[in-house]
Structure 1
Amino acid sequence: MALAIRDVREHDLDAVLALNNAAGRTILALDAAQLRFFYDRADYFRVAEIDGHIAGFLIAMREGSDYDSPNYRWFSEHYPQFVYIDRIVIANAYRRHGLGRIFYCDVNSYAEVRVPLLTCEVFLEPRDDVVVLFHGTYGFQEVGQQRMGSSGPQVSLLAKELPSYAYVRETYLDKAGLPDVPWLAERLHSSHDNNPQRRLAGARRP
């Protein structure tokens, strides 16, 4: 079994949309326009490809986006810098095999050289103790709760401190920027970034 975690490509979008909308109640449905927003704007949008098939994906956004998710807005109101995991979806055939942990390790590696916090939410209605335990063992702490809309589910808002960030900021981000190596590269997408902190974090050595 050959596994690759890679940036999404445009021709993956139909498969990603179908996977998202087959995931069940704990993943909000998307339409093609919403998925295109993520394709154009998401700072992290990677898929897991196993033997040529899309087995899962994870989408994450940094601060400063015009994304209208109530949970993303909550983090924007409380923290100046963060990476927000909007959704992770694993195909049924590949669940309970550790692919979620692989994705979380990957997005953690992306986040810890750019921001001090990795954030997300988990649904409390319906509550999935496997999901709650997964995030707790990965270092997330609850920092708040809210209801998504007047009749939406109650969610637990989670944050994980990234202790490596202070070193990276002092050693690289406050100076010449991150080294120009592939594993530190930013995803190429069409959003225009006006946030100076993010431009600094994405800087490259001359």
Structure 2
Amino acid sequence: MAIAIRDVREHELDSVLALNNAAGPTILPLDSTKVRWFFDNADYFRVAEVDGHIAGFLIALRGNADYESPNYLWFRERYPAFLYIDRIVIAKPYRGLGLGRIFYSDATSYAEVRVPVLACEVFLEPRDDVSVLFHGTYGFHEVGQQIMPGLGKRVSLLAKDLPSFTFVRDTYLLGPMGQLPNQPWLVERVRNGSRTSLRAASGH
């Protein structure tokens, strides 16, 4: 089985939309306009490709996005810098393969050289114990709860500290280079036809 985590491609947005809206009640529905908005604006938007088929995706945004999600705004009001995981979806035939942990490891690798905190939420109404346990064992802790406006459902707001960021910040972002090294795995995804510079992507 060949598994690849890579940036989403424009022609795959319809597949992402279909996966999202078939995921169940713990994933908020999307329409084509919102999927396009994520494609144009998300800092992290990657898919899992298994033997040539899209098996899932993860979307995440840093704290400077023009995004109206109440959970995202909760973190933006309290944290100066973070990467917020908006959603992760794994298609049913591919669940149980560990793709969730692979995605979270990849998102952590992206985040820890840019921000000090990885953030997300899980539904408590209905309670998603699989997700609660997954995040707890991956190092997240609850930093708050809220009732989502318009939905009336309670969510647990979770954060994970990324201690590696202090080293990266002091050695590179605030060091003689003033930016991250020019390496392929550190390059930002293309958005709106261009890549964010390493300096800007680093928040420095």
In which range does the TM-score fall when normalised by the shorter chain?
A: over 0.9
1:28 aligned to 2:28?
Answer: yes
| 1:155-170 alignment runs, 5 A limit | 155-170=155-170
* Unaligned 5+ runs, structure 1: none
Amino acid at match of 1:95: R
> Aligned-pair distance for 1:190?
2.0
Amino acid at match of 2:3: L
Amino acid at match of 2:127: R
Q: Which residue of 1 aligns with 2:171?
A: 171
Q: Which deviates the most, 181-190 or 69-78?
A: 181-190
Judge conservation of contact 1:63–1:81 (CA < 8 Å) in 2: yes
Could you tell me the percent identity over the aligned residues? Answer: 69
| 1:4-83 alignment runs, 5 A limit | 4-83=4-83
Judge conservation of contact 1:48–1:56 (CA < 8 Å) in 2: yes
> Aligned-pair distance for 1:52?
1.1
1:116 aligned to 2:116?
Answer: yes
CA distance in 2, matches of 1:17, 1:58: 12
Q: Which residue of 2 aligns with 1:85?
A: 85
> Aligned-pair distance for 1:191?
9.0
Cα distance change on mapping 1:191 and 1:166 into 2, 3 Å: farther
> Aligned-pair distance for 1:152?
2.5
* Unaligned 5+ runs, structure 2: none
Judge conservation of contact 1:193–1:199 (CA < 8 Å) in 2: no
> Aligned-pair distance for 1:53?
0.7
User: In structure 1, the residue corresponding to 2:136 is in which secondary structure?
Assistant: helix
**Length, aligned pairs only:** 202
TM-score (ref. length: structure 1): 0.93
Cα distance change on mapping 1:181 and 1:16 into 2, 3 Å: same
Cα distance change on mapping 1:182 and 1:16 into 2, 3 Å: same
CA distance in 2, matches of 1:170, 1:117: 16
> Aligned-pair distance for 1:51?
1.2
User: In structure 2, the residue corresponding to 1:78 is in which secondary structure?
Assistant: coil
1:188 aligned to 2:196?
Answer: no
Judge conservation of contact 2:188–2:195 (CA < 8 Å) in 1: no
CA RMSD of aligned residues (A): 2.1
User: In structure 1, the residue corresponding to 2:65 is in which secondary structure?
Assistant: coil
CA distance in 1, matches of 2:94, 2:201: 38
Amino acid at match of 1:184: L
CA distance in 2, matches of 1:89, 1:152: 22
Structure 1 stretches of 4+ with a deviation exceeding 4 A read 191-194
TM-score (ref. length: structure 2): 0.94
